[in-house]
Structure 1
């Protein structure tokens, strides 16, 4: 898949967060947990609601691999909340719903194919059922861990933005994934079953990190959606979902109590004196520990006027489980 970029497109490259993209890949993880070992710990925490009608319907329209209806992940511009994503789903036009589900018809068979045909035949009822199913599945699968996930996603975006300022846009794009390259003002994504080339036409390119989709990249390239690349976020480990108490205990054993507390407190950019105050350390002691954490790749420090602000890196976000 090739996204050709003009001058206007290059200046309009931006990042987004898509709760809908995370949800559809969470459903696929539940359907085939054997292929995503990084999510086994999260998978074991799930409850019996996976047998609900809502989950069954989402599984029918999403499938286990390959194409999924674009209206479930369309237009993740900016930092969308789950509520905003759901509101977009409520406003999906009939023709868009029919078009995307029509693609699923030719990718299915038997009872599943017939059920999707029935959804297409009555788009108003289909939309109502899909919205209700989305809400049910969100509350079951992702609502309990969304704070951890959203912090991991934002940490990834922060690191990518800094990489642009330090090394340039092309260098940043080349680090999105092993299947993504930048060449001759075009971003290319290797996909297993799809090939196309589009001119972004001044709309820019949207880059969306993902916690749940850890295996490969995916794209959106059909109007009216913005050209989009979904890519695996930095720093995802099998313990990303852990509760706070377990995380602090494990980090203390690894780093010592002072450095573990600093990692846990750096949920937003903090100055050295703020870090000292929150952890009960002397400012000089906090500064020493922050230097050690920075040298280990767990803290990023940037000057902002007269202050130096410290933030977590994606690696420390993963160690902290997003807490």
Structure 2
């Protein structure tokens, strides 16, 4: 399906870019639900799928609501109110969703499933305010297991995309930036033309402006959200996805070794992939007790973060640590 989103001068003036944690939640869960996980994310999927299965999230609320293809419930992607809202902000908006919007989304899902909803979703349809807190709690668990350990890396890609788009708007104008978002998106004649759409997006059913949201997990498609009186949203693949999960070259490892010591520098280098104390001990050849002591010091210095995954704790590098390791001399 092709669709056309018309723009007035006011719509262009209210067009903006934003990062959205919930778009990463929804699109990443969809990637995991696919018969074949998109190639860029297969290594990530291999790491997180066992955690999700152990927590029962492969058969929970998100599994019921987010299909591999087709309609995505709009209430899961509230419009970002700032350039970079926190997950807590978006979860608060989900918890406060108008019951009518929840039921409308579920009706769309039912229409694509021959009128059949799972018992869990039928309960959500009857009593949204009773069920929404449970959905929020499950999203928090999913975030902790699947996104939080990797968020510094993901967010760096998203922020780099926003920087690029902002500079493009400043140098070439909004129309040019819109025209180069994706091969299925084209600006022409004062309108945004979208191809390969699952559903139409028109000004009749949305508010003014446009929210453009880069996403690492939306690849290779562009996804849209249309809710009455709210600006339409367009989630597009962020630039740099191809290198997102690559093991990085640590240009300053020797210099950091001189400052931090060999063991702590080695642990930071090994945290290209989030890992537990036991896994880091295996990778580095250090004792588990020694790794634990070094991680405590690195965390105090703001170079690592901790993320609980079931009974274990995963450690990840922070953005500061990434910058120290990858900065060119």
TM-score using structure 2 length: 0.70
- The answer on whether the counterparts of 2:19 and 2:158 sit within 8 Å (CA) in structure 1 is yes
How do 1:64-213 and structure 2 match up within 5 A? Answer: 64-77=68-81, 78-108=83-113, 112-198=117-203, 203-213=208-218
- Structure 2 vs 1, CA of residues 202 and 46 (structure 1 numbering), >3 Å: closer, same or farther? closer
Query: Is the 2:37–2:45 Cα contact (8 Å) retained in structure 1?
Result: no
Question: Is this contact kept in 2: 1:14–1:207, CA < 8 A?
Answer: yes
Q: 1:132 to 1:224 in 2, by over 3 A?
A: farther
Counterpart of 2:212 in 1: which secondary structure? strand
SS at match of 1:79: coil
Per-residue displacement from partner, 1:196-222 (whole Å, max 9, x unpaired)? 432698721111110111011111222
CA distance, structure 1, for counterparts of residue 24 and residue 132 of structure 2 = 20
Separation in 2, partners of 1:195, 1:47: 33
Identify the range of structure 1 (49-58 vs 84-93) with the bigger mean alpha-carbon deviation. 49-58
Alpha-carbon deviation of 1:161? 0.9
1:267 counterpart residue number: none
In the alignment, is residue 53 of structure 1 matched against residue 69 of structure 2? Answer: no
Tell me the residue number matched to 1:247.
248
Deviation at 1:13, TM superposition (A): 1.2
Q: Whole-Å Cα distance in 1 between the matches of residues 74 and 67 of structure 2?
A: 13
TM-score by length of 1: 0.71
Q: How big is the alpha-carbon RMSD for the aligned residues of Structure 1 and Structure 2?
A: 2.9
- How far apart, in 1, do the equivalents of 2:197 and 2:210 lie? 21
Shift of 1:225: 2.7
Helix, strand or coil for the counterpart of 1:187?
strand
Partner of 1:13: 15
Aligned to 1:264: none
What is the rounded CA distance, in whole Å, between the counterparts of 2:16 and 2:174 in structure 1?
A: 11
In the other structure, the counterpart of 2:39 is: 37
In the alignment, structure 2 segments of 5+ residues that lack a partner are: 256-322
Contact 1:181 1:187 in 2 (8 A): yes
Tell me the number of residue pairs that the alignment of Structure 1 and Structure 2 aligns: 255
2: CA distance, partners of 1:149 / 1:203? 29
Write the distance in 2 (CA, Å) between the matches of 1:95 and 1:192.
25
Cα distance in 2, alignment partners of residues 115 and 206 from structure 1: 31
Structure 1 outlier segments of 4+, above 6 Å: none
Equivalent position SS for 2:79: coil
After superposition, what is the alpha-carbon deviation per residue over 1:71-106, rounded to whole angstroms, capped at 9, x for unaligned?
101212321111111111111122221221221122
Distance 2:96 2:207 in 1: 25
Quickly say closer, same or farther: Cα 1:197–1:95, change in 2 above 3 A.
closer
Q: Secondary structure at the match of 2:203?
A: strand
Deviation for aligned residue 1:44 = 2.1
CA distance in 2, matches of 1:163, 1:98: 40
CA contact (8 A) 2:206 2:228 kept: no
The alpha-carbon distance between structure 1 residues 43 and 252, as it changes in their structure 2 partners (threshold 3 A), is farther
Q: 2:5 aligns with which of 3, 6, 12?
A: 3
| Residues 1:65 and 1:35: Cα distance change in structure 2 (over 3 Å) | same
Q: Distance in 2 between matches of 1:111 and 1:4?
A: 35
| Aligned counterpart, 1:295 | none
